[in-house]
Every structure is written in C-alpha cells, then in structure tokens.
Structure 1
Amino acid sequence: MLSWALTFLIIAIIAGVLGFAGIAGTAAGIAKILFVLFLVLFIVSFIMGRRSG
C-alpha cells in the first residue's frame, strides 16, 4: 500500500511539473489518503502483534 502512495505521489509531481493541475491535485489527494491508511494499518498490526506474542 505504501508503494501505491509513492506511485501516486510521483504521478502528482510529474503532472504538477507538466502543468496538469487537476490531475496533480487528484493524485496528491489519493497519495495522502493511501499514506494515512497505511499508517493506521501499520499501527494496528504493530499493536496486535505485540499482544499476541
């Protein structure tokens, strides 16, 4: 999931440099959402792993 966030971030940067503001904004928004989702899942799995072991 982190790789998807990085992919959308790179797409946003390239689209921003080329002047496609709408595409860049959308890709950046998707990257932010995926990154936050990745962090939440990481924290949940970290906490659950510490309890079971």
Structure 2
Amino acid sequence: MERYLNNGDYFELFSGWVGNEDKERLGELKLKINHFNIDEIRIPERTLVRIEK
C-alpha cells in the first residue's frame, strides 16, 4: 500500500463480521505504515484500524 499513498494519506480497515458493520466500534488503532511489527499487533473484533503514511 505504501506506493499508493502520499505522505499524510491513510487507509482504514474494520475488523468484524459481515452484517455487523453498523454496530458500535469497540476500539480504534492508529499505525504508521512500515513502523510496526505485525506479529505484535492484536486487533479485537469491531476495531477500526487506520494505517497512515
């Protein structure tokens, strides 16, 4: 994704089951692209993940 984003741009992912998109979020996680270890991240259900460049 890094090559598709300009500095300051971001993309978002939502972890949840199909049909639960309208339910309240239980958490939010903001990450900088290429500045995290994917093996150390836990993303609970109904969490919005924002990855920024």
TM over 0.5: no
| Structure with more relative contact order (C-alpha pairs < 8 Å, separation 6 or more) | 2
| Richer in helix (by share) | 1
Give TM-score, length-normalised by structure 1. 0.25
Give the number of the structure whose alpha-carbon radius of gyration is greater: 1
From the two aligned structures, give the one with the greater strand fraction: 2
TM-score by length of 2: 0.25
